[in-house]
């Protein structure tokens, strides 16, 4: 071990002598960033992950310098893009915007995963969280609270329909868990995103969705949807009157969609820490908080270890949800 370190030092200093000092420095990340940084978003442009990652990329540029280029690599429910990150050179120039799915859900959904989030990736910082909200179309569902909804749904023969943006997504899993918890029959109707779910709900075909808040902000403001509960542990700042699931009578139902920036696991710790610090500072910026709030999200900042802990902590509930929903992807 000692031998190795010494040799490493000799090689490093020799390299420094030959190429002039910067090479040692760049190995440690002191000169980083020297070239554009790829911020890989594993979803198509225009979604909430894309929008929020772009907002953060702008702020990171201001704080750390360099050019932050958002690169959309959609595919396989977000696995393709994060796999690209996992297999990139660990030089601090490839950063990925991962979500709770990559850390705590995918391993239960897919029989084989192209990467292991614990082994192949190092988290940088939590970046944001957004609640899933239980929404009903105002025109078609009279219920104002969860108990009212349960009573109303009991009166329908065959139960109710709930929408989601696809099999295995957090709205699908939440919808399945919810139906189980309240003990009612419900049928899952998968769509290709909230842009399809919303019209189906406004048309009265689908009665409930426990979907990501951002897609519904506009429609909620216009009174087209009523929010019955949020899935966060505490009430959500922009929806102060809406109870949490526990308050509404559905205990053990905390499921937020959170996100974190990640890098290939061998990325120099110095670089990871610099980005992590910057992200924490950005999350504390009131202007950023306000911008995220309009979009239905809340900026977060944390240490890499806190991300790891959160992802481990949440695995049991997501595992349960995947089992209940019966979702299986390959």
The footprint of other proteins (CB under 8 A) covers 44-47, 50-51, 54-55, 58, 70-76, 80, 114, 158, 161, 166-168, 187, 189-192, 195-196, 198-200, 202-203, 205-206, 214, 217-219, 221-222, 224, 291, 294-295, 327-330
| 1 or 155: CB nearest other proteins | 155
d(CA 139, CA 44): 32
CB of 217 to other proteins, least distance (A): 5
| 22 or 218: CB nearest other proteins | 218
CB of 175 to other proteins, least distance (A): 14
Length of the chain: 330
Reference 182, options 140, 138, 134; nearest CA is: 134
Residue 224 CA from chain centroid, whole number: 26
| 150 or 202: CB nearest other proteins | 202
Q: Is the Cα dihedral 147, 152, 157, 163 positive or negative? A: negative
CB of 264 to other proteins, least distance (A): 18
d(CA 280, CA 41): 20
CB of 91 to other proteins, least distance (A): 19
CB of 116 to other proteins, least distance (A): 16
| 5 or 111: CB nearest other proteins | 111
| 5 or 223: CB nearest other proteins | 223
Q: Say which residues have a Cβ less than 8 Å from residue 266's Cβ, sequence separation at least 6.
A: 90
Q: Is the Cα dihedral 210, 165, 202, 240 positive or negative? A: positive
CB of 294 to other proteins, least distance (A): 5
| 206 or 250: CB nearest other proteins | 206
d(CA 111, CA 91): 30
Q: How many CB atoms lie within 10 A of CB 170?
A: 24
């Amino acid at each position: 071990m000692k031998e190795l370190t010494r040799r490493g030092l000799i090689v490093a200093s020799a390299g420094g002598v030959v190429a002039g000092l910067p090479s040692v420095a760049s190995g440690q990340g002191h000169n980083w960033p020297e070239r554009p940084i790829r911020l890989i978003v594993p979803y198509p442009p225009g979604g909430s992950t894309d929008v929020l990652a772009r907002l953060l990329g702008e702020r990171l540029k201001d704080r750390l310098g360099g050019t932050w280029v958002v690169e959309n690599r959609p595919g396989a429910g977000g696995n393709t893009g994060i796999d690209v990150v996992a297999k990139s050179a660990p030089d601090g120039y490839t950063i990925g915007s991962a979500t709770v799915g990559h850390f705590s859900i995918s391993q239960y959904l897919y029989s084989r995963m192209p990467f292991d989030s614990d082994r192949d990736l190092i988290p940088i910082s939590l970046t944001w969280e957004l609640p899933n909200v239980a929404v009903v179309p105002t025109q078609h569902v009279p219920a104002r609270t969860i108990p009212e909804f349960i009573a109303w749904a009991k009166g329908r023969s065959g139960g109710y329909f709930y929408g989601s943006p696809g099999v295995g997504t957090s709205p699908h899993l939440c919808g399945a868990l919810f139906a189980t918890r309240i003990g009612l029959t419900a049928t899952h109707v998968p769509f290709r995103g909230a842009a399809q779910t919303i019209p189906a709900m406004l048309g009265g075909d689908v009665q409930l969705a426990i979907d990501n808040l951002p897609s519904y902000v506009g429609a909620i403001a216009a009174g087209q949807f009523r929010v019955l509960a949020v899935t966060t542990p505490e009430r959500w700042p922009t929806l102060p009157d809406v109870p949490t699931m526990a308050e509404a009578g559905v205990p053990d139902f905390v499921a937020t969609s959170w996100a974190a920036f990640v890098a290939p696991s061998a990325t120099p710790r110095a670089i990871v820490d610099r980005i992590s610090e910057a992200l924490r500072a950005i999350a504390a910026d009131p202007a950023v908080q306000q911008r995220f709030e309009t979009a239905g999200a809340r900026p977060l900042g944390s240490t890499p270890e806190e991300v790891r802990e959160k992802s481990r902590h949440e695995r049991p509930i997501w595992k349960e949800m995947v089992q209940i929903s019966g979702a299986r992807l390959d």
